[in-house]
Chain A
């Protein structure tokens, strides 16, 4: 079973990203579950969201303590939050950043992938430079970096789940797919 943790800030779309990724896996016939942590869902406060993916329906309902992989929507979180906490051996961390994988020495021992999801989002008119809406770009990057889910399934999920700017969200996901390192 695959367990993925998303780190973001309240209002940034971590919950939506986790749901969209669950939909993408579901499109490929997987059993899925997506849930947020609750308690501090203030705008700007660190939040986490989770998905479970399996070949059969997911029946577990406890918290995820040891994720298989981690996705970071906002690198400024990493000053305060240990995003690799409990991360399983062999897991990767996908970070929305302009930096390169070697710029994250704290994550030594884990595979690190980077994508400038904020830049891509702004370029496609998703949010503002101060508050970019990065979730669809991050999912495109996740498809490429993980190899666990196909780009077509991600795009289908983005198409279905984007409330507005569907074309821009699709374009952002595709561009991030191509540019993730």
Chain B
């Protein structure tokens, strides 16, 4: 059934169709409509889940961890400062190999107080061990939530489903809501044989001395590689049932492109339109949309970027003193590469990124052999 849905409601429907069993959330800003709608779904009986309202985001994730340890399919949603407050428990969830799914709506971090879009909140959690999946449309949000549960449960790593505040979260777009039967076929009930059971004497999260700790971390590290392959399998299976898939990266017009821009999230749409415009002017431009970040899909990116003579990265985030985080990761991945990489930072704190601004980045790269600096701020007044 196709409906015009807000991005946040697309996420809620994804959680409903995934039959989440425990949802825990802190309902105050920077929270979004995701859990408001889920609490209504639970109250109406559309979703048979336990909705646990807590007093902080830290507690919300603690609740999900406890539910997941007991074998339940657990979900939470948050944003910016809420995500940062969860930081300690993000490590806990990943280290505990708990298949929790979270929606993280990208909002800027204070000061000054700014509720608008920026991806620094989720990217600053890149070392916690969570898989990160970035979405470019409301349809992709709904589909990715469903895929995320399957991925999390098959590799036992928690997954963050991420999208841009307001640009998607509060924007209405047509979304195809799959039938429950279709989703049930794709995503069977959770089955975690390692879950704790009442009446059975087992422990979780006890002391691991130096004899064991490193092996746990090595196993988590190694499973990341498998997570990339597993996502591709899951994505292909999803396509068979719904006709939609996304890929860990999505190249657009890259096969003969001389300039390729890499970006993530809702910028995938506008950059694609800009590429069309540049192609119409005879400029061989392409664009790579990054869906999966952590694990960072180095090989898929290298493959997509093969034809490029110049590489551009558009980051809506900032590691102060270093630059855009995707650009930084890409430069490390391409370390043997001699091709120049333009690292653009734009759109921080909800500043508008117009097609003209994106186009100007391509023209910057067209007009020079190498970038003027490692990080180039665009659409800024200083």
A32 touches B355 (CB 8 A): no
Q: Check B354 for interface membership: any CB of A closer than 8 A.
A: yes
Q: Which of B166, B172, B269, B353 has the most CB of A within 10 A?
A: B172
Set of chain B residues within 8 Å of A60, measured between Cβ atoms: 269-270, 273, 355
Q: Check B182 for interface membership: any CB of A closer than 8 A.
A: no
Q: Check A61/B266 contact, CB under 8 A, given A35-B171, A36-B170.
A: yes
Binary flags per residue of B206-241, CB closer than 8 Å to A gives 1, else 0? 000000000000000000000000000000000000
| Chain A contact residue count (CB 8 A cutoff) | 18
A61 touches B167 (CB 8 A): yes
B273 touches A38 (CB 8 A): no
Complex: how many Å from CA A23 to CA B272? 25
**A contacts, CB < 8 Å to B:** 19, 22-23, 26, 31-36, 38, 57-63
Set of chain B residues within 8 Å of A57, measured between Cβ atoms: 174
Residue of A nearest to B347 (CB): A62
A38 touches B171 (CB 8 A): no
From A19, A61, A62, contact of B172 by CB (8 A): A19
Complex: how many Å from CA A22 to CA B172? 8
Within 8 A of A (CB), among B317-363: 352-355
Provide a sorted-by-A list of 15 A–B residue pairs whose CB atoms are within 8 angstroms: A22-B4, A26-B2, A32-B4, A32-B173, A33-B171, A33-B173, A34-B4, A35-B172, A58-B173, A60-B270, A61-B266, A61-B353, A62-B352, A62-B353, A63-B352
From A32, A62, A63, contact of B174 by CB (8 A): A32
Residue of B nearest to A51 (CB): B172
CB distance from A12 to the nearest CB of B (A): 17
Residue of A nearest to B116 (CB): A38
Set of chain A residues within 8 Å of B270, measured between Cβ atoms: 59-62
A62 touches B355 (CB 8 A): yes
Set of chain A residues within 8 Å of B171, measured between Cβ atoms: 33-35, 61
B269 touches A62 (CB 8 A): no
- What 4 A-B pairs have minimum CB-CB distances, sorted nearest first? A59-B269, A35-B171, A34-B172, A62-B354
From B4, B115, B166, contact of A26 by CB (8 A): B4
Set of chain A residues within 8 Å of B269, measured between Cβ atoms: 59-61
Q: Known pairs A23-B4, A38-B116. 19 more at Cβ < 8 A?
A: A19-B4, A26-B2, A26-B4, A26-B174, A32-B172, A33-B172, A34-B172, A35-B167, A38-B115, A38-B170, A57-B174, A59-B273, A61-B164, A61-B167, A61-B267, A62-B352, A62-B354, A62-B355, A63-B354
B166 touches A38 (CB 8 A): yes
Binary flags per residue of B165-195, CB closer than 8 Å to A gives 1, else 0? 0111011111000000000000000000000
Residue of B nearest to A50 (CB): B171
CB distance from B8 to the nearest CB of A (A): 12
Within 8 A of A (CB), among B117-171: 164, 166-168, 170-171
CB distance from A54 to the nearest CB of B (A): 11
Complex: how many Å from CA A36 to CA B174? 16
Set of chain A residues within 8 Å of B167, measured between Cβ atoms: 35, 61
Set of chain A residues within 8 Å of B355, measured between Cβ atoms: 60, 62
